[in-house]
Amino acid sequence: MQPGDIVLYGTGPQNTSTSVHTGVVVAVGNGRISTVEGNSNNAVRKHGPFDPTRAKAAGRPGNIYGWVAAQ
């Protein structure tokens, strides 16, 4: 992942129950990412840095099942 990528939280894109949230990566370093997310407790907030392989354990709405790379 790199800044500008969009992370996809949940367990997959099957429906709105399994794809629960998105965030924009704003920083990457030391195996951790920081994101900016809207509708995060009814506000736009920065989260991180956190280990993207353990996003749910870091308090995000689910684990990251994929991301969309910025070009």
pLDDT tens for 13-70 read 998 899 999 999 999 999 999 999 998 788 999 999 999 999 999 999 999 999 999 8
Q: Which DSSP string do the residues of 8-59 spell out, in sequence order?
A: EEES-TTSTTTEEEEEEEEEEETTEEEEEESSSSSS-EEEEEE-GGGTTTTT
Instruction: For residue 6, name the pLDDT band (cuts at 50, 70, 90).
Output: very high
